[in-house]
Amino acid sequence: MKLDSKIPEGKLEEKWRNYQIKSQLINPANKKKLNVIVVGSGLSGAGAAATLAELGYDVQCFCYQDSARRAHSVAAQGGINAAKNYQHDGDSVWRMFYDTLKGGDFRSREANTYRLAELSAPLIDHYVQQGVPFAREYGGVLVNRSFGGVQVQRTFYARGQTGQQLLLAAYSQLYKMIHAKKVTMFPRSEMLDLVVINGKAKGIIVRDLVTGELKRYAADAVVLATGGYSRVFRLSTLAIGCNGSAIWKAHKKGAYFAAPSFTQIHPTALPQSSEAQSKLTLMSESLRNDGRIWVPKKQEDTRKANDIPEEERDYYLERRYPSFGNLAPRDIASRAAKERIDAGHGVGRLKNAVYLDFKDAIAKFGLETIKDRYGNLFTMYKKITGIDAYKEPMQISPAAHFSMGGLWVDYELMTTIPGLYAVGECNFSDHGANRLGANSLLQASIDGYFVLPNTINNYLASALKEEHPTTDHPEFEKAEKEVKTSIDAILKINGTKTVDHFHRELGKVMWQECAMSRNKKGLEKAIEDIQILRDDFWNDVRVTGSGDELNTELEKALRLADFIELAILMCTDALERDESCGAHFREEFQTEDGEAVRKDEDYSYVSAWEYDNGNFKLHKEELEFEFVKPSVRSYK
Partner 1 sequence: MQVTFKIWRQEGPNDKGTIRDYLVDGLSEDMSFLEALDHLNELLVLKNEKVIAYEYDCREGICGQCGVFINGRAHGPHDNITTCQLHMRSFNDGDTIVVEPWRTASFPVIKDLIVDRSAFDRIIEQGAYITAKTGTAPEANAILIPKEVSDNAMDAAACIGCGACVATCKNSSAALFTAAKINHLNRLPQGKAEEHKRVKEMTYQMEIEGFGSCTFTGACEVECPEGISITNIAELNARLTKANFLG
Query: Which residues within the stretch 375-394 sit at the binding site for partner 1 (CB under 8 A)?
Result: 380, 383-384, 386
Interactions with partner 1, residue window 489-548 (CB under 8 A): 496, 498-501, 542-545
**Binders of partner 1: how many residues, by CB under 8 A?**
84
Residue type, 368: E
Cβ proximity to partner 1: between 372 and 587 the closer is: 372
Residues forming a β-bridge with 579: none
Among 27, 129, 591, 613, binds partner 1 (CB under 8 A): 129
When asked if residue 175 is in the footprint of partner 1 (CB under 8 A), the reply is yes
Member of 90, 139, 309, 614 binding partner 1 (CB under 8 A) = 139
For 422, other C-beta atoms within 10 Å of its C-beta total: 32
Taking CB under 8 A as the rule, does residue 89 contact partner 1?
Answer: no
| Rg (the chain; Cα; Å) | 24
- Backbone phi and psi for residue 297, each to the nearest 5 degrees, phi listed first: -70, -30
Asked if 181 interacts with partner 1 (CB under 8 A), we say no
Question: Residues 6 or more apart from 599 whose CB is under 8 A from it?
Answer: 578, 579, 589
> Contact, 502 vs 252, CB < 8 A?
no
**What DSSP string runs through 164-206?**
HHHHHHHHHHHHHHHHTTSEEEE-SEEEEEEEEETTEEEEEEE
Q: Where are the beta strands (DSSP E) in 105-182?
A: 155-156
Terminal-to-terminal C-alpha distance of the chain: 42
User: 104 or 453: whose CB is closer to partner 1?
Assistant: 453
SS3 for 311? helix
What's the maximum distance between 2 C-alpha atoms anywhere in the chain? 76
* d(C-alpha 450, C-alpha 115), whole Å: 10
Q: How far is the CB of 234 from partner 1 (least distance, A)?
A: 12
State which residue, 133 or 199, has the beta carbon closest to partner 1: 133
158 neighbors 132 (Cβ within 8 angstroms): yes
Of the candidate residues 44, 108, 113, 164, the single one contacting partner 1 (CB under 8 A):
164
Among 11, 17, 136, 391, binds partner 1 (CB under 8 A): 136
Q: Interacting stretch for partner 1, rule CB under 8 A, among 162-170, 255-263, 338-346, 592-600?
A: 162-170
Question: For residues 243 and 415, which CB has a smaller minimum distance to partner 1 in the complex?
Answer: 243
Binding segment (CB under 8 A) for partner 1, from list 278-286, 314-322, 531-539, 609-617: 278-286
Tell me: does residue 236 bind partner 1 (CB under 8 A).
no
Closer of 70 and 335 to partner 1 (Cβ)? 70
Name which of residues 51 to 80 contact partner 1 (CB under 8 A): 51, 54, 65-72, 74-75
Query: Is the Cβ of residue 171 or residue 589 nearer to partner 1 in the bound state?
Result: 171
DSSP 433: T
Instruction: Provide the mask over 291-330, with x wherever binding to partner 1 is found by CB under 8 A and - wherever it is not.
Output: ----------------------------------------
- How many helices (H) and strands (E) the chain has is answered by 19, 20
Q: Which 438-467 residues touch partner 1, going by CB under 8 A?
A: 449-450, 453
Q: Is 154 in the site for partner 1 (CB under 8 A)?
A: no
Q: Which of 278, 470, 539, 631 binds partner 1 (CB under 8 A)?
A: 278
Find out whether 103 and 435 touch, Cβ atoms under 8 Å: yes
3-state class (DSSP) for residue 222: strand
**21 sits near partner 1 (criterion: CB under 8 A):** no
Q: How far apart are CA 599 and CA 593, in angstroms?
A: 17
**Segment interacting with partner 1, rule: CB under 8 A, options 10-18, 118-126, 223-231, 578-586:** 118-126
28 counts as binding partner 1 under rule CB under 8 A: no
CB 590 within 8 A of CB 597: yes
Residue 270 CB, shortest distance to partner 1, in Å, is: 10
Could you tell me the smallest distance in angstroms from the CB atom of residue 229 to partner 1?
Answer: 15
Identity of the residue, 189 or 415, whose beta carbon is nearer to partner 1 in the bound complex: 189
* Residue 179: CB atoms within 10 Å: 9
Please tell me the distance from the alpha carbon of residue 105 to that of residue 98, in angstroms, as a whole number.
10
**Measured between alpha carbons, how far is 611 from 253 in angstroms, rounded to an integer?**
8
